[in-house]
Chains A and B, each alone.
Chain A
Amino acid sequence: MSKLRPGMVTPLLAVVLAVGVTACGSGGSTGTGASSGATQPAEKIKLTVALFSDFHFAPLYEEFKKTHPNVEIVERRAQFNDHHKNLTTQLATGAGAADVEAVEAGYIATFTPLPDKFYNLNDYGLGKRQADYLDWKWKQGLSADGSKLLGLGTDVGGLAMCYRTDLFKKAGLPTDRAEVSQLWPTWEAYLEAGKKFIAAGVKGAKWFDGPGENFRAIVDQAPVGFYDDQNTLVAGTNPDVKKAFDLSAQMIQADESAKLAAFSPPWNTGLTKGSFATIICPSWKTGSIKDAAPTTSGKWDVAAVPGGGGGNQGGTHLMAPKQGKHPKEAAELIDLLTNKDTQLKLFTDAGALPSIPALYDDPTITGFTNPFFSDAPTGKIFTDAAKALKPQHVGPKAGDVLTTFGNALQRIEQGKQTPDESWAQALKDLERIK
Chain B
Amino acid sequence: MATRAPGDLAVIPPHPPVRPSPGVHRRLLVHRLDVKASPYAYVAPFFLLFCAFGLFPLAYTAWVSLHDWTLLSDVHKFVGLDNFVALLSDDYFWNATFNTLSIGVLSTVPQLLLAIWLAHLLNRPLKAQTLFRVTLLLPNVTSVVAVVVIFSQLFGRDYGMINWMLSWFGVSPIDWNAGTATSHIAISVMIMWRWTGYNALIFLAAMQAVPRELYEAATIDGASGMTQLRKITIPMIRPTIIFVVITSTIGAMQVLAEPLLFGIYSITGGPDRQYQTLSLFIYEYFTKLDFGYASAVSWMMFIFIVVIAGINYLLTRRSRGGLS
Q: Which residues of A contact B (CB under 8 A)?
A: 7-9, 13-14, 17, 79, 81-82, 85, 88-89, 91-93, 114, 259, 261, 264-266, 269-270, 273, 275, 400, 403, 406-411, 414-417, 434
Contacts and interface: CB of A to CB of B under 8 A. Distances in A.
Interface in B212-252: none
Given A17-B145, A411-B271, A8 B265 contact: yes
A261 B264 contact: yes
Interface string B177-194: 010000000000000000
A416 B178 contact: yes
Interface string B267-279: 1100110000000
B287 A266 contact: no
Given A9-B264, A261-B264, A411 B272 contact: yes
Contacts of B158: 266, 269-270, 275
Contacts of A400: 288
A261 B157 CA distance: 12
B72 A416 contact: no
A265 B148 CA distance: 13
A374 B242 CA distance: 66
B159 interface: yes
Interface of A: prevailing SS: helix
Contact of B289 (A9, A14, A92): A92
A7 B267 contact: yes
Contacts of A266: 156-159
Nearest to A15: B145
B254 interface: no
Contacts of B178: 414-416
Nearest to A18: B145
Given A92-B289, A269-B159, A13 B71 contact: no
B34 interface: no
29 contacts: A7-B263, A7-B264, A7-B265, A8-B264, A9-B265, A13-B145, A13-B149, A13-B261, A14-B146, A81-B265, A85-B287, A88-B71, A92-B71, A92-B72, A92-B289, A265-B152, A265-B153, A265-B264, A266-B157, A266-B159, A269-B159, A273-B159, A400-B288, A406-B271, A407-B266, A407-B271, A411-B271, A411-B272, A416-B271
Given A265-B149, A266-B157, 10 more contacts: A7-B264, A13-B149, A14-B143, A14-B146, A79-B265, A81-B265, A82-B265, A88-B71, A92-B71, A416-B178
The 7 tightest CB contacts between A and B, nearest first, are A410-B271, A407-B271, A414-B178, A7-B266, A92-B71, A264-B264, A9-B265
The range of chain B's interface size is 20 to 34
Nearest to B257: A17
A17 B265 CA distance: 11
B271 to A, nearest CB: 4
Given A13-B261, A407-B268, A88 B159 contact: no
B159 to A, nearest CB: 6
A414 B159 contact: no
Contacts of A410: 271-272
Given A14-B146, A17-B145, A414 B72 contact: no
Nearest to A269: B159
Contacts of A275: 158
Contacts of B289: 88-89, 92
B264 to A, nearest CB: 5
A392 B306 CA distance: 51
Contacts of B159: 266, 269, 273
Contacts of A17: 145
B160 to A, nearest CB: 9
Contacts of B267: 7
Contacts, number: 73
Interface of B: 71-72, 143, 145-146, 149, 152-153, 156-159, 175, 178, 261, 263-268, 271-272, 287-290
A13 B147 CA distance: 12
Contacts of A81: 265
Contacts of B271: 406-411, 414, 416
Contact of B272 (A265, A273, A416): A416
A273 B156 CA distance: 15
Contacts of A409: 271
B157 A14 contact: no
B203 to A, nearest CB: 32
A17 B147 CA distance: 14
Nearest to A7: B266
Contacts of B268: 7, 403, 407
A93 to B, nearest CB: 8
B248 to A, nearest CB: 25
A409 B272 CA distance: 10
A410 B145 CA distance: 25
A77 to B, nearest CB: 14
A41 B210 CA distance: 73
A411 B157 CA distance: 16
Contacts of A415: 178
Contacts of B156: 266
A118 B261 CA distance: 32
Nearest to A406: B271
A17 B143 CA distance: 11
A88 B290 CA distance: 12
A295 B263 CA distance: 27
Contact of A89 (B71, B146, B157, B290): B71
Contacts of B287: 85
B265 A414 contact: no
A422 to B, nearest CB: 9
Given A7-B265, A13-B261, A14-B145, A88 B72 contact: yes
B289 to A, nearest CB: 7
Contacts of A273: 159
Nearest to A92: B71
A87 to B, nearest CB: 12
Nearest to A261: B264
A425 to B, nearest CB: 9
Nearest to A117: B72
A259 to B, nearest CB: 8
A37 to B, nearest CB: 31
